[in-house]
Amino acid sequence: MNKRSITILQLYPRDMNIYGDWGNTLVLQRRLEWHGYSVNLTEYNPGDSFPDDVDIIVGGGGQDSGQDIIQNDLLAISQNLHKLANDGVPMLVICGLFQLFGKFFKTQDGHIIEGISLLDLETHAGPERLTGNIITENKEFGEIIGYENHSGQTFLGAGVTPLGKVIKGAGNNGQDDSEGARYRNVIATYMHGSLLPKNPAIADFLIDKAVTRKYGEFTPSVIDDRFAEQARNVAVKRPR
């Protein structure tokens, strides 16, 4: 029997890949394999034709120059992304793509960069970079542990819920205790690079949603997450 297969689409891996974003894709790929699925890893870069058959979408952070390159292309595929999100496709967007999945990003000099409004939120250039170890809390996933590094300050609207409540660190804007955003199975966060390695519960949530959507059921295997647990225990004790 052929193994059941899941397609992961990396959104703009060439231009939006700063801070170890590859780690998220790798964790999804390996865990899917360990859960007994085969993985079809695909990329979407500016100008490519958007694939029809997608089970999970992962997008990363970029530098300002990377965001300039992808911005128009992202607007062009906005309809595809809306349709998939509303259809329950799990997505993980970090940092730069978190911002551009929102309504707009307003730069320091008042210039508006339009987003795709998939997430009800807006981002304003902030006076300082919010950088350091961060811990948040979420009922479904427990403590979410990561590292943030962003200057944009994001404010959530009524159409999304925060991904977590900040316990330590700055979060979306340093003011209202919220971190990240959640809409259906779309997870957005400023915790870059290594979000999924140290937060396997979120990885398995994305996998569960993708597999269930495609095959109607998901039976997880037992994965040895002791290193993740120990890495989490160390990370919460490190200075900001």
Partner 1 sequence: MSKPYVTLLGKAIRNIARIRGGGSALPGLFVEKIDPDFIKRTLAQLPHGVVVISGTNGKTTTTKMVVALLESQGMKVFTNRTGSNFTRGVAAALLGEVDNNGNLDSDIAVLELDEAHAVHFVKTISPKYSLLLNVMRDQLDRFGEIDTTAKMLAQIADKTTDMVVLNREDPRVAAIAKNLDDEKVHYFGLDPELTHLFPNDDDMRGAVIKSSKQLQLLKAGVILQSIKDNTAQFLVEGSPFTTTLKLHGIYNIYNAAAALALARCILPIDHDKEKLVKALSEVTPAFGRGETLTINGQPFELVLVKNPSGFRLSLSSFKPEGYQTMIAINDSYADGRDMSWLWDVEFESLRPGGVSVVAGVRAYDMALRLQYDEITMTLVEPNLSTALRQFLASGDQPKRVFCTYTAMLALRRELAKITDVETIS
| Residues marked as catalytic | 95, 192
Among 35, 182, 198, 209, binds partner 1 (CB under 8 A): 198
Cβ proximity to partner 1: between 134 and 163 the closer is: 134
Range in contact with partner 1 (rule: CB under 8 A) among 49-57, 72-80, 128-136, 182-190: 128-136
Among 132, 137, 176, 201, binds partner 1 (CB under 8 A): 132
In terms of DSSP bridges, do strands 5-11 and 104-106 run parallel, antiparallel, or are they unpaired? Answer: unpaired
Cα–Cα distance list, 118 to 9, 47, 48, 229 (Å):
17, 21, 21, 33
Q: Is residue 228 a contact residue for partner 1 (CB under 8 A)?
A: yes
- Nearest approach in angstroms of CB 175 to partner 1 is 21
Say if CB 220 and CB 208 are below 8 A apart: yes
**Token duo for residue 26:** 């790798």
**Token duo for residue 151:** 């200057």
Report the alpha-carbon distance of residue 15 to residue 59 in Å, rounded: 10
Say if CB 18 and CB 60 are below 8 A apart: yes
The mark string for 3-42 relative to partner 1 (x by CB under 8 A, - otherwise) is ----------xx--xxxxxxx--xx--x------------
Cβ proximity to partner 1: between 18 and 167 the closer is: 18
- Nearest approach in angstroms of CB 228 to partner 1 is 6
Q: Is residue 192 a contact residue for partner 1 (CB under 8 A)?
A: yes
C-alpha of 118 from chain center: 13
The mark string for 148-177 relative to partner 1 (x by CB under 8 A, - otherwise) is -x-x--------------------------
Cα–Cα distance list, 28 to 93, 157, 188 (Å):
14, 29, 16
Report the alpha-carbon distance of residue 222 to residue 126 in Å, rounded: 43
Q: Is residue 46 a contact residue for partner 1 (CB under 8 A)?
A: no
Cβ neighbours around 12 below 10 Å, total? 25
Name residues contacting partner 1, limited to 98-127 (CB under 8 A). none
Report the alpha-carbon distance of residue 149 to residue 68 in Å, rounded: 19
Give the interface with partner 1 as residue ranges (CB under 8 A). Answer: 13-14, 17-23, 26-27, 30, 43, 45, 63-65, 129, 131-133, 147, 149, 151, 192-194, 197-198, 224, 227-228, 230-231, 233-235, 238-239
